[in-house]
Structures are given as structure tokens and as C-alpha cells.
Amino acid sequence: MPKKVDHDERRRELVQASWDVLCVDGLEGVSLRRVAQAANCTTGRIAHYFKGRDELLIASLRMAHTQAGARMRVIAESETDPLKRLRAILLESLPLDARRLKEWQVWLSFWAVSIGHKDLSAENQLRYQEWRAALADALRPIVSGKQVSVLADRLVTLIDGLGVGVTLSPTKEARQRAQNEIDIFLKSLN
């Protein structure tokens, strides 16, 4: 058959390129041509791997989720102490370095697009559900059963609030404060 090319790898490259464009030019700057330029190819390649712009965008959002989810799972498995594990998960979810900041910028952007966009809205709901479930799992060994649900919700809210704050104003102090708030929350669990 034809050239040997890792289909998934190509898709990842293109999604990565769309992230780069999005973080520099903002959502409105994400055009197929601009993504192609960032990926060092032409729109032809994009058309070959995605049906259209919408599908590329959905893939971008989904990949941002799965990528973060994978990191969470690694952490969840590597750390055995329940409290340390929860702490590691929470810190990993914050935009504390360049890569995670980019992830958060992607998320914020898609929150906006999902307003008035059915498919993306559903996609977002799904990730919330998964994220909440992961937090609930991490909480279960620490607190009593009845509190798990309440605290999971509260953590989602806390992370969203901190994440937004740091993403919109990614200063050293904001990052430091976010970490502090996490530790304060964890302390309240005792």
C-alpha cells in the first residue's frame, strides 16, 4: 500500500498545532490555514485527517482532556498514600507550568465556544463528569462516604476558580496562592 504514516501521530501533530495557534492568536485566529502553517503543512493534510474545522476543534478539546486524564491516572497509580495522592492530583490539575497553562487556555476557549454550540457543550459536560468522578475516587479513602459527593463538587469548583484565576493572570504570586489554597483545603479534611 502507500506511505507508512502513523495516522494517530499525524492527528496529534495537527491538534498540537491548533493549540499553538489558539494560545497565541486566540480562538478567532484558529483557521485551517493558520493551523496548517503552524504544523508546517497545507490545509490539504488537515482535510485528509479531519472532516472540517469543527471536527478538528472537537478533537482538540477531547485530546486536551484525554492528555490531562492520562497524567492524572499515572499519578493516581504511582502515589499510594491517599492524602498525598489527592494533593498530587489537585496540583497537577492546575496551570502551574507552561504546558498546563496551555491546556487551561484551550479549556477556557472551548467553554466560550460551547456557548451556543450543542456538540461542544455536551463534550464539556462529559469531561466534567469524568473529572468529578476521578476526584470522588481520590476522596473516598480519606473522608466518610456521605461527604465524598459534596467534597468532590467543592473541589471541582475550587480547581475551576483557581485555574481561571491563574490562567487569566499567570503570575508567580497567583500560582503560589493557588498551591496554598490547595493545602488549606487538604488541611480542612482532618
The residue type found at 88 is A
Partner touching 49 among a second copy, DNA, none, CB below 5 to 8 Å by kind: DNA
Reading the block at residue 107, the C-alpha cell is 479549556
Interface stretch with a second copy, choices 42-50, 67-75, 133-141, 163-171 (CB under 8 A) = 163-171
Distances (CA, A) of 126 to 112, 120, 150, 170: 16, 10, 19, 27
Nearest-approach distance from CB 71 to DNA, in angstroms: 27
Q: Is 149 in the site for DNA (CB under 7 A)?
A: no
- CA-to-CA dists, residue 82 to 48, 67, 101, 147, angstroms: 45, 23, 26, 16
Q: Tell me which of 36, 56, 152, 158 binds a second copy, using CB under 8 A.
A: 158
Does residue 17 interact with DNA by CB under 7 A? no
Residue with Cβ nearer a second copy (12 or 117) = 117
**109 CB contacts (<8 Å, ≥6 apart)?**
22, 26, 27
Helices (H), the chain: 7-25, 32-38, 43-49, 53-78, 82-93, 98-114, 118-139, 145-168, 172-188
Binding part of the chain for a second copy, among 58-66, 67-75, 139-147, 148-156 by CB under 8 A, reads 148-156
Q: Which of 17, 18, 23, 34 binds DNA (CB under 7 A)?
A: 34
The binder of a second copy chosen from 55, 81, 97, 153 (CB under 8 A):
153
Applying CB under 7 A, the residues found at the interface with DNA are 1-5, 7, 10, 29-34, 36, 41-45, 47-49, 51-54
